[in-house]
Structure 1
Amino acid sequence: MTTARPASSHRSRTRANGDGTVYQRKDGRWEAAGYVLAPGNTRKRVRVYGATRKDALAKLTERIAASNLGLPVAAADSTVSAYLTYWLNGVAVHHLRENTHTRYAASIRLHINPGLGAKKVARLTARDIRTFLDGLRTTCQCCAQERDSVRRSCCAIGQCCEKRLSPLTVTYVHAVLKSALEHAVREDELPRNVARNVKTAAPRPRRFQPLTAVEARQFLHAASNDRLYALYELALRTGLRKGELLGIHWEDLDLDGGTASIHRSLQRTRSQGLTVLNTKTLASERRIALPAECISSLKIHQERQQEERQAAGTGWTDNGLVFTTPKGMPLDPANLSRRFRRLLRRAGLRTIRFHDLRHSTATLLLEQGVDLVVIKELLGHAHIGVTAGVYAHVRLRLQRQAIDSLGNALGPTHDEPDELPAAATVR
């Protein structure tokens, strides 16, 4: 009499209708398969793989969940345009800040889709991407996006303005494409990320014009009677970003202990308007020491804000922010930039960006001999390489000054001895 062979543990588990199937392959990997929504409002069977049953099942569940939300789940045989739609709205939206997501969407809509959107993801080659990026560098964007035909200008009238993308923008578009294809590799849709095989020349860093020590003193003197003097002084003495300054709450300040906790940033987003978000990166969350001058100006600013609160009465909006309008509302970053430019003109200084105050802080600290690690922590950079890279030109100038100082100390060398004294052996 034969006995029935017991089913394996993984096959005995039943799954509901529509949940797909999961089984172990002969090579040891686990494979999960199920039907999801595909581009064109059709259903498509997809397969995902994992080292364990749990991994494969998690990948399939994620795809089915996205499909149930109406998001087409693209695969390697989809077009680049279809896959980018899936990646942008089903994956990137969950880990990108809203403004970053908007910039990604613009890069895809304006550049990637017109150039590569019709190609199949699985058939995309490094040559395709290299040709695409070369075209971005050399093509007039007025003509490529057909703005000339609408405005009846540029190529439409035979006078091309030759408005090309900057090297920084081309690098950004390339980075967006790399991120999307990297996700396809993680989902086992592609064997490798061909966009990584394309090397682009590193763009020149943006030029900035920091204030000199004399100009910085001139700026602070001109701003001394401004109601936002404490903001300008805090920006110049600590190097905080604009959003970080506008997002500071009184509860973040310890004026008695002389410290400030930076963990919020005020940004304008398309969906929510002015809103307080987390800082740019995890490294941006930091605690900084406040200069004595900033503590004094902040106390004066606090007293002035109390007077404004009393004058506004019921019209005051209480949100706990340090820097507000006279009615307590958050300050718009764009309005602050306009106020800053007016202040520069009033001070008789050249026009710079508000962000250049941050560069001014770092440059002046470097010139005073402050260690690069200290500057990195003050600015909230994720890696010291970022700090070193941004201010490489300053460090080079300081090296030149150091070498010249050493040359002056040594003076002209004549009649040098043939051998160094034994005590002067250099190791």
Structure 2
Amino acid sequence: MPLKKGEKEHFFQDVADEWFRWKKSLDEESKGIAPSTAKQYETLIRLYIHDSRLGRMPIRSITRVDVRDFFSDLKQLQRDGLVKDDFGKVVGRQQVPKLGLSNRRAIYGIVSMIFKYSMVEKEYIFANPAYGLEPPPKPKVKKDAEVLEKKKYVAKNLALYLKGRPDELRWIFAMATGCRQSEVLGLTWDCFSYTLEAQTDTPRVIIKQQLQPDFVGKQKKTWVIDDRTKSENSHRIIPLDKRLVELIREHKKQQNEWKKSEKWDPMPGKGMNNLVFTLPNGHPITHQRDNKRWRQLLQEFNLPYIPLHSLRHFAASMMIANGANINAVSSILGHGSVSITRAVYIHDDLRPMVAPMKGLLDTLFRDRDRGFIEEWDENGPLPKDQKPES
């Protein structure tokens, strides 16, 4: 399609950036994107669309074959990490992370939306070259009874395995509150209310931010506290059980000792010197380090592997199993529509959440306080009076 006189050529990677800025400017009711989704889209555009063969092409000249080849290259990237030049010749290995099915599906959606934006909103093109192309298949998720049994077993005994360990509060807190990993790692001490001093009101934590990576170009530069949650409903208040409060107090004392050391040197940035969960030198505990420590714990105690995110699922399941109202559980997990203003200023709003939180903590701490650990063999958890064969 020839350009009109005085019309500017639009390259696909530039249109991708333009679409992303436009999409971010919309609110969620106008089909905008949540902050966490925006972060994912921004990363995928930067790593896989910028500087790709498709990204360097004028959008008017892109054909269905070009789009199909782009997705084919993504599939190959997942398999062998090879990089090809504009003529299909292998020129090296890819330095960016290998793609899984979930991210390939996300890129497919991004590319489709960019073409639709170019056609409907901007009229750069008059046909969508991605139309009719099959998206990558959905990842296969194993949801059999054995997997569910493993999750229940690990979570049930976690409080005892963690007793006295450096990671105790972080993972107990995640399982007791159902918070997402980024929310836990991004907690600062000002998120807590009536926790360390006051004894007369309901202790609570305000979930209002996340720990997120910050990029410059394609390189991860540092970590920042993003003052946005995954969605509007994720900005919430959660009541805290007194046993969890006691663990928080002990953790605060430990961190105060770290701060006296010459090694204490927190990263620059808003709130980074006030993080709840840090290394002894004041640096944040990143998602990668958190996941690595989790795998090490499971291996140390010969536990079946479950993802760290399963603690959130366990929290929801146990609260409901203990008779919690589904609306209260939704509010705790950030899935409900309870207003943050009402939660802060009207104390009655916290009352429906206190009972499910207490029931969950009763379950977590029961065997921890008794010092009992179920054994696990290849067939699952053993009865209390049965020992594994040596």
Aligned to 1:348: 302
SS of the aligned residue for 1:351 comes to coil
- Per the alignment, do residues 130 and 328 of structure 1 end up closer, same or farther by CA in structure 2, a change over 3 Å counting? closer
Aligned to 1:86: 14
Deviation at 1:270, TM superposition (A): 2.5
SS of the aligned residue for 1:358 comes to helix
Alpha-carbon distance in 2 for matches of 1:321, 1:139: 37
2:280 pairs with 1:326: yes
Identify the match of residue 231 of structure 2 among 276, 281, 286.
281
- Per the alignment, do residues 322 and 103 of structure 1 end up closer, same or farther by CA in structure 2, a change over 3 Å counting? same
Alpha-carbon distance in 2 for matches of 1:382, 1:85: 37
Letter in 1 for 2:60: V
- 1:196-211 equivalences under 5 Å are 198=133, 200=135, 203-204=138-139, 206-207=141-142
- Per the alignment, do residues 150 and 116 of structure 1 end up closer, same or farther by CA in structure 2, a change over 3 Å counting? closer
SS of the aligned residue for 2:6 comes to strand
- Structure 2 contact 77–83 (Cα < 8 Å) conserved: no
Aligned to 2:173: 234
- 1:147-166 equivalences under 5 Å are none
- Per the alignment, do residues 299 and 375 of structure 1 end up closer, same or farther by CA in structure 2, a change over 3 Å counting? same
Alpha-carbon distance in 1 for matches of 2:279, 2:49: 37
- Structure 1 contact 263–285 (Cα < 8 Å) conserved: yes
Deviation at 1:247, TM superposition (A): 0.8
Deviation at 1:321, TM superposition (A): 1.3
Deviation at 1:223, TM superposition (A): 0.7
Identify the match of residue 263 of structure 1 among 208, 217, 227.
208
Aligned to 2:354: none
- Structure 1 contact 284–381 (Cα < 8 Å) conserved: yes
2:106 pairs with 1:172: yes
SS of the aligned residue for 1:145 comes to strand
Letter in 2 for 1:285: H
Deviation at 1:103, TM superposition (A): 1.5
- Per the alignment, do residues 186 and 366 of structure 1 end up closer, same or farther by CA in structure 2, a change over 3 Å counting? farther
Alpha-carbon distance in 2 for matches of 1:333, 1:138: 27
Aligned to 2:357: none
- Per the alignment, do residues 134 and 223 of structure 1 end up closer, same or farther by CA in structure 2, a change over 3 Å counting? same
Runs of 4 or more consecutive aligned structure 1 residues displaced over 6 Å after TM superposition: none
CA deviation string 1:95-144 (max 9, x = no partner): 3755541222333258xx5469657537746x875786578668985387
Letter in 2 for 1:331: I
Aligned to 1:104: 45
CA deviation string 1:287-334 (max 9, x = no partner): 222233322211221222223333x16846471111112233322222
Aligned to 2:252: 302
- Structure 2 contact 174–312 (Cα < 8 Å) conserved: yes
Letter in 2 for 1:289: P
- 1:350-389 equivalences under 5 Å are 350-368=304-322, 370=324, 372-381=326-335
Alpha-carbon distance in 2 for matches of 1:293, 1:190: 61
- Structure 1 contact 283–381 (Cα < 8 Å) conserved: yes
Identity over aligned residues, as a percent? 20
SS of the aligned residue for 1:319 comes to helix
Alpha-carbon distance in 1 for matches of 2:326, 2:47: 36
Deviation at 1:358, TM superposition (A): 2.1
- 1:382-421 equivalences under 5 Å are none
- Per the alignment, do residues 332 and 130 of structure 1 end up closer, same or farther by CA in structure 2, a change over 3 Å counting? closer
Identify the match of residue 145 of structure 1 among 83, 86, 93.
83
Gaps (5+ residues) in structure 1? 1-41, 47-72, 76-81, 153-163, 384-427
CA deviation string 1:152-205 (max 9, x = no partner): 9xxxxxxxxxxx975434422211112212321212334565646556476146
- Per the alignment, do residues 137 and 345 of structure 1 end up closer, same or farther by CA in structure 2, a change over 3 Å counting? closer
- Structure 2 contact 84–92 (Cα < 8 Å) conserved: no
- Structure 1 contact 122–190 (Cα < 8 Å) conserved: no
| Larger displacement relative to structure 2 (280-289 or 358-367) | 358-367
Deviation at 1:349, TM superposition (A): 1.1
Deviation at 1:207, TM superposition (A): 4.5
Aligned to 2:190: 251
Larger RCO, structure (CA 8 Å, separation 6 or more): 2
Letter in 1 for 2:237: R
CA deviation string 1:200-254 (max 9, x = no partner): 4761464475654442232211111112311110111112122111111111112
- Per the alignment, do residues 331 and 199 of structure 1 end up closer, same or farther by CA in structure 2, a change over 3 Å counting? same
Alpha-carbon distance in 1 for matches of 2:189, 2:263: 21
Gaps (5+ residues) in structure 2? 25-34, 196-200, 267-271, 338-390
- Per the alignment, do residues 176 and 228 of structure 1 end up closer, same or farther by CA in structure 2, a change over 3 Å counting? same
Letter in 2 for 1:179: M
Letter in 2 for 1:301: H
- Structure 2 contact 327–336 (Cα < 8 Å) conserved: no
- Per the alignment, do residues 380 and 190 of structure 1 end up closer, same or farther by CA in structure 2, a change over 3 Å counting? farther
SS of the aligned residue for 1:45 comes to coil
Give the structure with higher Rg (CA).
1
Number of matched residues? 294
